[in-house]
Amino acid sequence: MQPDQEITLLLQKAGLRPTAQRLALARVLFDGSDKHVSAESLHEGVNAAGGRVSLATVYNTLHQFKAAGLLREVAIEGDRSFYDTNTSNHFHLYDVEEGTLLDVDHEQLKISGLPALPKGQVIDRVDVIVRVKRR
Amino acid sequence: MQPDQEITLLLQKAGLRPTAQRLALARVLFDGSDKHVSAESLHEGVNAAGGRVSLATVYNTLHQFKAAGLLREVAIEGDRSFYDTNTSNHFHLYDVEEGTLLDVDHEQLKISGLPALPKGQVIDRVDVIVRVKRR
DNA sequence: TTACATGCAAACTGTTTGCAAATAT
DNA sequence: ATATTTGCAAACAGTTTGCATGTAA
C-alpha cells in the first residue's frame, strides 16, 4: 500500500484533482501489484475497501486514468472492458475458459517481421494475447 | 462469388440447415475475399444485396458460424464485436483512428520466446494486433 | 410431421450522459 | 468565488431471448 501522499502526487501530476473518490480508487488500483480490473470489479473492490464511489464515477475515473496514462485498456473479446495497471511494454496470457488475464514480460517474448506499414502510419503499440485453455 | 451449391455444402458440413437466410449471409461472407464484419455491417450488407434477414438472425448466425469454425471473432477493444472470415493463422493491423482492420499474413510475422504455460494448459491461439496510427 | 430456424419486440448488460448538489482550488 | 467533480437516474448501444409463425428434412 502506497502512502496517500504519493497517490495524491500521482493524481496531481496527471492534472487530476485529488478528490476523495479518485484517491479511494487510486489506492485500490496502485497498491504496487499489477492488476486487471473491469469497472464492475473495481467498483466492488473500492466499496469493499470502505470507499463510497458510484459506478458512474468509476467509469469516469477509469477513462481519466487511461487518458492520463495511468492505466492501459486491454482488448479482450467480450462484453466488458478491462484495464491494466501495468502500463509498461508487456503481453498477456488469457485463460479462455476462466476469463482470467496474466501478464507476460516482454523480455520473454519477441516479435519479428512486422509488416511494412501504410505510409504515414506509425506503430502505436503491439498487443499480443496468448490464449490458453485446459487440456 | 461462389456457386450456391458450394455454399450449401459448406453449411451442411457444419451441420447447419441451408436456409434462405443462412445462404444469403454466407453468400455475402464467403465470396472469396477476406472480410471483417460487425453484426450491423453484415446486416446492412446482406440487405443491400437483396437479402431479407433480421438483425436477430444475423446475431444468431454469426454465433453459429463461429461455433462451426467458419468465422473467427477478433478481439478489438470497443463496443462492438468483429468477425473475420479468414480463419487461418494470421495477425491484424488495426488503425486506431479509423477503426479499420487489415490482415497480416503470419508468414511475415514471427513470435519467439513464448512463456512457459501453467501446467495443464495449452495454447489455443495467439492473437497479435499491431495498432497503428497516423503521424 | 417434427425438429429446427426465423422475426419481432421486449428484455438485458455494460456504458454514457444531463443535471443539480457537493467539493477542490 | 469559480471551475471541477460527483451521484443519481435516465438514456443509450449492442446484444440476447421468449415465443408464435414458418420452413427443412
pLDDT band for position A120 (cuts 50, 70, 90): very high
| Structural domains of chain A, ranges and CATH numbers in brackets | 3-83 (1.10.10.10), 89-132 (no CATH)
User: Which nucleotide shows the minimum CA-to-C1' distance to residue B60?
Assistant: D16
User: Is 0.85 surpassed by the pTM of this model?
Assistant: yes
Of B73, B109, B117, the CB nearest to A114: B109
> Distance from A69 to chain B by nearest Cα, in Å?
16
- Picking from B107, B78, B33, B109, the residue whose alpha carbon sits closest to that of residue A123 is B109
Taking only the tens place, the pLDDT of each residue in B8-32 is 999 999 999 999 999 999 999 999 9
Encode chain A in three state secondary structure. CCCHHHHHHHHHHCCCCCCHHHHHHHHHHCCCCCCEECHHHHHHHHHHCCCCCCHHHHHHHHHHHHHCCCCEEECCCCCCCEEECCCCCEEEEEECCCCEEEEEECCCCEEECCCCCCCCEEEEEEEEEEEEEEC
Interatomic separation, CA of residue A76 and C1' of nucleotide D4, rounded (Å): 33
Of A75, A111, A124, the CB nearest to B109: A111
Is B79 near strand D, with its CB below 7 A from some atom of it?
yes
B66, pLDDT greater than 60:
yes
Bases of chain C below 7 A from a protein C-beta are: 4-10, 13-18, 23-25
Is B12 near strand C, with its CB below 7 A from some atom of it?
no
Interatomic separation, CA of residue A8 and C1' of nucleotide C22, rounded (Å): 20
Helix (H, G, I), strand (E, B) or coil at B106: coil
Of A115, A120, A122, the CB nearest to B109: A115
Taking only the tens place, the pLDDT of each residue in A95-113 is 988 888 999 988 778 888 8
Distance CA A20, CA B103 (A): 46
Lowest-confidence region among A10-14, A17-21, A108-112: A108-112
A1, pLDDT greater than 70:
no
A133/B122 CB distance under 8 A: yes
A113/B114 CB distance under 8 A: no
A39, pLDDT greater than 80:
yes
A128/B124 CB distance under 8 A: no
Predicted pLDDT of residue A2: 67
Instruction: Give the A window 51-80 contacts with B, CB below 8 Å.
Output: 73-78
A130/B113 CB distance under 8 A: no
- Picking from A118, A73, A77, the residue whose alpha carbon sits closest to that of residue A96 is A77
| Cell numbers representing residue B7 in the block | 455454399
Of A76, A77, A122, the CB nearest to B133: A122
Residues of chain A neighbouring B128 (CB-CB closer than 8 A): 111, 126-129
- Picking from A24, A13, A21, the residue whose alpha carbon sits closest to that of residue A69 is A13
